[in-house]
């Protein structure tokens, strides 16, 4: 458990799509066991689409994170869940006004009713703390026809965060934003939502020139750059073990997942 002056938060996209996701049941159980071993106060999960997977995770972490909530939305559910060490006083779910195209049913985002879920918890030291969890619209291909959708989602989300802050609450905003740190979406959350990026607060801006990129280990690469997507060291990534240029291979990853706070 964390000390009273720290808050340990973990956010993780489980890739739990039924049928589509490889080795889903095996991976979700392994994820549940790994989560049970973490000393976290709050865990936010994305892409937990199968009810029995969420129930398995609940049982695995119930000794340390007894308060949980899953956000139901659309035809298949939002895939979002929050696990908390502290009592949950209330929950809310805000669906995004612009979210996908109904005729692109194979993309799925429209039909799951994507949005942002929140849980208001009673922290013993700081009082009311509102935890937000979201998964923004995916890009689907190099042309990324959904840029405007994600920008609209971030604008709506930033205003929700401002409303929560106006009520005097501390805020943790986490999830899969499908947006890199240089994006307009990231700046909306940071600047219009008045949020701080916890990764940058802890690690600072990464600089590849400080390292021998040809010899850096996978663990050091992941820890230093914080890449959460398309890492060539992830065996499930499309970029796993691609190419012969080691230096170029290591630059394929992206940081798309964040834990902001205010």
Q: Tens digit of pLDDT for each residue in 15-53?
A: 999 888 999 999 999 999 999 999 999 999 999 999 999
pTM of the complete model: 0.92
pLDDT digits (tens, 9 = 90+) for 77-90: 899 999 999 999 99
pLDDT attached to residue 4: 64
| Residue 106, domain member (yes or no) | yes
CATH number, domain with residue 203: 3.60.10.10
| Residue 235, domain member (yes or no) | yes
| Residue 93, domain member (yes or no) | yes
pLDDT digits (tens, 9 = 90+) for 158-212: 999 999 999 999 999 999 999 999 999 999 999 999 999 999 999 888 776 777 7
Number of folded domains that form the chain: 1
pLDDT attached to residue 231: 78
Give the residue numbers spanning the domain of 148.
Answer: 9-261
| Residue 244, domain member (yes or no) | yes
pLDDT classification of 250: cutoffs 50, 70, 90: low
| Residue 194, domain member (yes or no) | yes
| Residue 237, domain member (yes or no) | yes
DSSP E strand stretches across the chain: 9-13, 42-46, 67-70, 81-84, 88-95, 115-123, 127-135, 170-176, 196-197, 257-261
CA atoms of 28 and 16, how far apart (whole Å)? 7
C-beta of residue 253 within 8 angstroms of C-beta of residue 226: no
C-beta of residue 80 within 8 angstroms of C-beta of residue 117: yes
| Residue 3, domain member (yes or no) | no
pLDDT classification of 108: cutoffs 50, 70, 90: confident
pLDDT classification of 247: cutoffs 50, 70, 90: low
C-beta of residue 55 within 8 angstroms of C-beta of residue 90: no
| Residue 257, domain member (yes or no) | yes
């Amino acid at each position: 458990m964390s000390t009273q002056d720290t808050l340990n938060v973990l956010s993780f996209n489980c890739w739990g799509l039924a049928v589509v996701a490889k080795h889903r049941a095996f991976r979700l159980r392994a994820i549940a066991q790994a989560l049970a071993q973490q000393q976290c106060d709050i865990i936010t999960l994305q892409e937990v689409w199968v009810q029995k997977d969420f129930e398995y995770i609940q049982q695995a972490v119930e000794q340390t994170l007894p308060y949980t909530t899953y956000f139901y939305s659309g035809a298949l559910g939002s895939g979002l869940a929050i696990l908390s060490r502290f009592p949950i006083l209330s929950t809310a779910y805000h669906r995004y006004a612009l979210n996908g195209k109904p005729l692109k049913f194979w993309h799925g985002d429209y039909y799951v009713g994507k949005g942002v879920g929140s849980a208001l918890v009673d922290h013993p030291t700081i009082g009311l703390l509102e935890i937000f969890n979201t998964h923004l619209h995916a890009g689907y291909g190099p042309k990324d026809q959904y840029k405007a959708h994600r920008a609209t989602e971030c604008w709506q989300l930033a205003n929700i965060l401002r409303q929560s802050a106006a009520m005097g609450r501390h805020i943790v905003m986490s999830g899969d934003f499908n947006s890199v740190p240089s994006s307009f979406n990231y700046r909306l959350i940071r600047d219009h939502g008045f949020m701080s990026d916890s990764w940058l607060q802890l690690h600072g801006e990464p600089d590849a020139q400080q390292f021998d990129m040809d010899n850096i280990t996978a663990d050091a690469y992941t820890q230093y750059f914080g890449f959460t997507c398309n890492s060539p060291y992830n065996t499930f990534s499309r970029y796993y073990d691609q190419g012969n240029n080691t230096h170029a291979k290591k630059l394929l990853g992206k940081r798309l997942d964040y834990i902001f706070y205010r």
